[in-house]
Amino acid sequence: MGKEKWIYPYLHRYRWQFFLAGLLGTMTILFGAGLMFTSGYLISKASTQPETILMVYVPIVGVRAFGIGRAILSYVDRLTGHSLVLNILSKMRVRLYKIIEPQALFLRSRFRTGDILSVLADDIEQLQDFYLKTLFPSIVSLIIYVIIIICAGMFSLPFAIVLAVQIGFILVVCPLASFFYTKAQNEKLKMGRHKQYYQLTDAVFGIGDWIFSGHHHRFIRQIRKQEQQMLSLETKKHSFVNWRDTINQIILGTIVIVTIAWSNGLSINGEMSPTLIAAFALVTFSLVESFLPIAGAVSETTTYNDSLKRLNKMEMNDDQEKKAAVLFDDKRPTAPVSLGINRLFFGYLPNESLIQDITLTVEQGEKVAIIGRSGSGKSTLLNLIQGALLPTSGEVRINGRLAPELEGSLPTIMSVLNQKAYLFNTSVLNNIRLGRPDASDEEVYQVAELVQLDQLIKALPDGYKTNMQETGQRFSGGERQRIALARILLQNTPVVILDEPTVGLDSITEIKLLKTIFETLQDKTIIWVTHHLTGVEKMNRIIFLDHGKIAMEGTHQQLMNSEERYRRLYQLDRPLS
């Protein structure tokens, strides 16, 4: 199925270019064979001291013609083949970009970063190798094989059968044996590398948890151990390849010896001139040598299949996501949204849990603060809720449905105000309109007024049309966050996640921004992750995480009355009055 989408359409679309590339490859090998044949004949004929130079004039011209022609055809063949393949790969990369690019706008992407990294780093390049190292050489080799057997059969049918068997061993038996042996090795290598992509990208996202949990040394040891395993597999694979190539060379030598013996027998019987013995030996060596790379090319087809399956799966997921997004756009979530977390566990390594047995329910309109010191698991829990990480066990449900089933429509359910607002190289109007691209200018003006930016923007040189490249530095941290808040108001999702949006702001700016946030989002569900307690008294519920577990839970007043630890923390972090 993957081939139908990522191979066959291009074979059909560029069929004439493929035909030309195959023809040029075949002609290159035949000209090389012609060069060896005429060279062998010329050497043998010249050694007999011919009566006149005219007796060797034709072979001399042939050597020159085949030598020059082989070089020209080889260059044109490579130019045509690489041009064709690069053209196909450019189309594939555009196609892949169109699948991935829309997901870049959403934190809750259907694809994990490890998947995307693996596809970009390996899979497209593997398809390039498929065309250059497997498809073209295999087609050319089959053509040359048929030509050799037909030509040999014209001289001797038994000799043709012997050649067919011997060359068939190089062309069929060795590639099949190599395929079955390296299939498991390639699968292990691919899975090992893919696992490393997952672990490395997840570790980048959770670098804070790794450092503060004190397990980063364990992670490094694990990576080194995996590298040693990959090296061991590569060593075994290379050892097998060396033995396989040695056997092929022995068979090649045997074929040349058989050819010399056959041609010598014909010469003794007077059926062939002795000057042709060297010619047949050299042309056999040249032609059969072109079959040697096939075993290595065929053995890599398992890697191509793995790449095709992953690309096909990604495209299939993209189609499903588009259908889900269209379905959800037609039915925007006006009904209450309930978030349920049940027995949630997560760890970057086996037998390790950065999130441990968290069960939580958040109803529509509820305001929940998730607090705790750095490294307690707040950001990890937030990533699990957003779908950026997959839980080790447990589940996240939205209105009773598993979150992965709603990934295509999650951006219409949940929006995020991060620690840092990104301003792009476009107008202020367009920067705010990123929240909802189809929003009218009046709607942008309205949300800018709600977040108290209207007067500031109007004072800019070109107002809302001022380019951020000119004025981005004029905005303070608080003003940047207000632009991000305006985007969220345009997006108008029932659930809003606040990921420490006041980090780096002074206390007065922080209090003013929080006041604006709570006023403009008063009808929304808010999940607020923070490392200190300014403004938490406005929350309906406070959840205190410690080492990945819920250590305290309740309203601000309940925790103040019953939890001495919370009371001390609040007093130390008392907001300015």
CATH of the domain at 42: 1.20.1560.10
- pLDDT tens for residues 448-501? 999 988 888 888 888 888 887 655 666 787 888 888 899 989 988 899 998 888
Task: Mark whether 393 and 498 lie in a shared domain.
Answer: yes
Structure tokens at 338: 């309930």
Instruction: Provide the H-helix boundaries in 331-427.
Output: 378-386
Residue 118 φ/ψ, nearest 5 degrees: -65, -40
Q: Are residues 132 and 81 in contact, defined by beta-carbon separation less than 8 angstroms?
A: yes
Residue 330 lies in a domain: no
Using CA atoms, how far apart are residues 50 and 275, in angstroms rounded to an integer?
12
Please tell me the predicted confidence (pLDDT) of residue 416. 87
Using CA atoms, how far apart are residues 429 and 323, in angstroms rounded to an integer?
30
Q: Which of 411, 409, 435 is nearest to 422 (CA)?
A: 435
Q: In 527-549, which positions are buried (b, 16+ CB within 10 angstroms) versus exposed (e)? A: bbbbebbbbbeebebbbbbeebe
Range in 48-57, 114-123, 135-144, 499-508 the model is least confident about: 114-123
Residue in the block written with tokens 């839980």? 391
Range in 149-163, 174-188, 356-370 the model is least confident about: 174-188
Asked whether residue 334 carries a pLDDT value surpassing 60, the answer given is no
Q: Are residues 91 and 48 in contact, defined by beta-carbon separation less than 8 angstroms?
A: no
- pLDDT tens for residues 510-552? 888 888 888 888 889 999 988 778 888 889 999 999 888 899 9
Please tell me the predicted confidence (pLDDT) of residue 301. 75
CA 234 from centroid of its chain's CA atoms: 22
Task: Mark whether 123 and 218 lie in a shared domain.
Answer: yes
Residue 182 lies in a domain: yes
Please tell me the predicted confidence (pLDDT) of residue 279. 86
Asked whether residue 308 carries a pLDDT value surpassing 80, the answer given is no
Please tell me the predicted confidence (pLDDT) of residue 201. 63
Asked whether residue 310 carries a pLDDT value surpassing 80, the answer given is no
Please tell me the predicted confidence (pLDDT) of residue 367. 92
- pLDDT tens for residues 258-299? 888 888 888 888 888 888 888 888 888 888 888 888 877 777
Which pLDDT band holds residue 368 (cuts at 50, 70, 90)? very high
Task: Mark whether 158 and 206 lie in a shared domain.
Answer: yes
Task: Mark whether 284 and 433 lie in a shared domain.
Answer: no
Task: Mark whether 523 and 563 lie in a shared domain.
Answer: yes
Task: Mark whether 417 and 271 lie in a shared domain.
Answer: no
Residue 291 lies in a domain: yes
Please tell me the predicted confidence (pLDDT) of residue 500. 84
Residue 323 lies in a domain: no
Q: Are residues 304 and 134 in contact, defined by beta-carbon separation less than 8 angstroms?
A: yes
Q: CB atoms < 10 A from the CB of 145, how many?
A: 22
Structure tokens at 61: 């011209």
Which pLDDT band holds residue 209 (cuts at 50, 70, 90)? low
Q: Inter-axis angle of helices 441-450 and 477-491, to 10 degrees?
A: 130
Task: Mark whether 490 and 564 lie in a shared domain.
Answer: yes
Task: Mark whether 305 and 351 lie in a shared domain.
Answer: no
Residue 577 lies in a domain: no
Residue 328 lies in a domain: no
Please tell me the predicted confidence (pLDDT) of residue 116. 59
- pLDDT tens for residues 89-113? 888 777 776 666 555 444 344 455 5
Task: Mark whether 345 and 297 lie in a shared domain.
Answer: no
Asked whether residue 440 carries a pLDDT value surpassing 50, the answer given is yes
Structure tokens at 238: 């290379």
Please tell me the predicted confidence (pLDDT) of residue 108. 41
Which domain-ending residue is among 253, 279, 314?
A: 314
Domain CATH code at residue 537: 3.40.50.300
Q: Are residues 293 and 129 in contact, defined by beta-carbon separation less than 8 angstroms?
A: no
Residue 327 lies in a domain: no
Q: Which of 352, 505, 532 is nearest to 419 (CA)?
A: 505
Higher pLDDT, 75 or 91: 75
Asked whether residue 158 carries a pLDDT value surpassing 80, the answer given is yes
Which domain-ending residue is among 270, 298, 314?
A: 314
- How many domains, the chain? 2
Residue 331 lies in a domain: no
Structure tokens at 168: 């068939």
Q: What is the mean pLDDT of the chain?
A: 80
> What pTM value is reported for the model?
0.51
Percent of the chain with pLDDT over 70: 82
Asked whether residue 85 carries a pLDDT value surpassing 80, the answer given is yes
What counts of helices (H) and strands (E) characterise the chain?
23, 10
Task: Mark whether 153 and 212 lie in a shared domain.
Answer: yes
Task: Mark whether 290 and 346 lie in a shared domain.
Answer: no
Q: Are residues 432 and 448 in contact, defined by beta-carbon separation less than 8 angstroms?
A: yes
Residue-range definition of the domain harbouring residue 367: 339-572
Task: Mark whether 357 and 403 lie in a shared domain.
Answer: yes
Q: Are residues 105 and 70 in contact, defined by beta-carbon separation less than 8 angstroms?
A: no
Which domain-ending residue is among 272, 299, 314?
A: 314
